[in-house]
Structure 1
Amino acid sequence: MSGHRSPVPRLCRATGLLLVLSGLAHLVVFAVDGGPWDGPVSWRKPVTFGLSFGVTLIAVTWVTSYLDVRPRLRAVLLAVFAADCVVEVGGITLQAWRGVPSHLNMETSFDTAVSMTLAVGGGVLVVLLTAFALAAFFRRPTGPAGMALAVRSGFAVLLVGLASGAAMIARGVVLTRTGHQEAAYHSTAWLKPLHGVSLHAVLVLPLLARLLALTPWSEAVRRRVVTAAVCCYAATVAGAGVWAGPTY
């Protein structure tokens, strides 16, 4: 089965679109039902996670087409990634409709099962995206001028986002295990800006390189523009990291 004939990328894009639509649908639910936007129990979570996971799934499906990875292996990794995204968004959405926190919630056996499933799913995401990142670092990605730098930088920044997400979960789990459940729900706020900004570099930077390919500019100019964009994005991520220090 060749990469061109595999239905997996198409299915992943469709799944990503459904997750985005789920996020938008819950934005309508929030507008109708109301309630707080912030906090461990709010419609914000199915909205933001649906949009973020959907966009990320679509982005990773596209960006990995530039990687030097065997088509069959890429298809398997993408299929697992898509399934994991559905599980994550599904668990968060389920808990929102139940009116209980989704992450770090150990109040009942069912809540614990959902929370642990989301935590394990997060670990799977880290492994899969790290595998794609390593493929980008060890073998030069293909594509138009500046794409290799954009893809590699996008995955590098994405790893920062994954690390910040893991740090949030780890801190929350420690607080939960030591009997500080309410503090655990609010312990992740300081890293959320860094986490959110870092996750989408893997879309923004390669998309810029692709759009620049449509311009009449020379390859040298396009590479310089991508380099400048990478520097600006890195500065933004660094700024979010610096902000997180005093907030913590």
Structure 2
Amino acid sequence: MATIRARGRKRRRPNDATLRSMTTTALRAGPRRWHRPLLTLTAAMAVLALVTAAGLAVDDRTLLGANVWLKPFKFAVSFAVYGFTLAWILSVLPRRSRPAEWASTVIVAVSVIEVAIITFQAARGHRSHYNDTTPFDSLLWSIMGSSIMVLFVAHLVVATVALRQRLPDRVAAYGIRLGLALALLGFLAAVPMVMPMDTGLAGISGAHAVGVPDGGPGLPLTGWSTTGGDLRIGHFIGMHGLQALPLLAFLLTRSRLATPTQTRLLLTAAFAYAAVVVIVTWQALRGQPLLEPDFATLTAAGAVAATTLIAVTLIVKSAPKHGPALPGGAPARNSAGDRG
């Protein structure tokens, strides 16, 4: 009798194709699974991006060598992508989590505060970041600084919830968790920007450029310095790990590789991605432009590239063979370790 029950339990265990179907069902669930404040933030930032894009076209005022509307435009696009990604992540979690939903609502609030100040200061033709030139400007910058800290803590709460919950698809779970972790690394890469420093400018208490003043020659659109280090690079790359790792996980699940192989490849990619964030931040802290790496930077980048290539080669070569694809495109598994 016990053997019959055990066999029954074994037969009821879902295979990888079933698990992916469960994840797809969660993705296609009704609005109840989507965090509405985050979707509202996404829509609001999309509208602001259009408005500021119009400002770029009709207003020729400049600040630190760039159009005054460029910064609010970039922040609007960034927060639209960030808000939608978090809303998607919450929709995929198998159980609703009040701490994660509350933290996400906090993220919406502080994001609105930060972007509102950036846009208001742009309209005035004033710097928003590091600006202590007047008591009012200092107050706005202080509010922004506090908002950034709250945003980091709230993001950490969401990441912790995603780490604790058991998502049906193992590869997707790794992609989401690693993406959230890389975004946290992106937050940390921005810390040196807000540290008190002597910029040589009255009333300016921080900078994103290293070795040169903010607002010098920069790359198109991003504005990243071409004459000195720029801390925004590591911050940007790290934050967008939130999209890169889940996207890579999705692509891997479409392959015919076994689940353990997909997971190992995803972990390898995450370590390589994190190493890139560290390297470009280290490069910026030494006052070095992104496109003018010295020998030390090239050596570090080469070591990461070589290690990643070797790891990927070994993982793929050691991947177990498997049979024909199951219905729905998922490959059949030939070993117990492939059940995920």
Superposition TM-score tier, normalisation by shorter sequence: 0.7 to 0.9
Partner SS, residue 184 of structure 1: coil
What's the Cα RMSD here? Answer: 3.1
Give the TM-score, by structure 1 length: 0.81
Structure showing greater radius of gyration is: 2
Alignment of 1:19-34 (within 5 A): 19-34=45-60
Per the alignment, residue 93 of structure 1 pairs with: 119
Q: CA deviation at 1:208?
A: 2.7
Q: CA deviation at 1:83?
A: 1.2
Q: Is the 8 A contact 1:9 1:61 kept in 2?
A: yes
Per the alignment, residue 286 of structure 2 pairs with: 246
Alignment of 1:1-248 (within 5 A): 9-36=35-62, 39=65, 42-67=68-93, 71-137=97-163, 139=164, 141-171=166-196, 174-175=197-198, 180-182=202-204, 184-185=206-207, 187=209, 190-214=230-254, 218-247=258-287
For 2:143 and 2:159, the matched residues in 1 are separated by: 24
The change in CA–CA distance for 1:141 and 1:65 in structure 2 (over 3 A counts) is farther
For 2:93 and 2:154, the matched residues in 1 are separated by: 14
Q: CA deviation at 1:69?
A: 6.8
Q: CA deviation at 1:72?
A: 2.4
Per the alignment, residue 214 of structure 2 pairs with: none
Greater CA drift, 38-47 or 238-247 = 38-47
- Listed as ranges, the gaps of 5+ residues in structure 1 are none
The change in CA–CA distance for 1:98 and 1:239 in structure 2 (over 3 A counts) is same
Greater CA drift, 19-28 or 43-52 = 19-28
For 1:231 and 1:116, the matched residues in 2 are separated by: 34
For 2:91 and 2:104, the matched residues in 1 are separated by: 11
Q: Is the 8 A contact 2:94 2:168 kept in 1?
A: no
Greater CA drift, 90-99 or 203-212 = 203-212
- Listed as ranges, the gaps of 5+ residues in structure 2 are 1-29, 211-228, 289-340
Per the alignment, residue 328 of structure 2 pairs with: none
Q: Percent identity?
A: 28
Q: Is the 8 A contact 1:68 1:140 kept in 2?
A: yes
Q: Which has the higher contact order (CA 8 A, sep 6+)?
A: 1
Q: Is the 8 A contact 1:57 1:85 kept in 2?
A: no
Q: Is the 8 A contact 1:144 1:209 kept in 2?
A: no
Q: Is the 8 A contact 1:161 1:198 kept in 2?
A: yes
Give the TM-score, by structure 2 length: 0.61
Between Structure 1 and Structure 2, the one with more helix by share is 1
Specify the code of the residue in structure 1 equivalent to 2:247: L
- Aligned residue pairs total 242
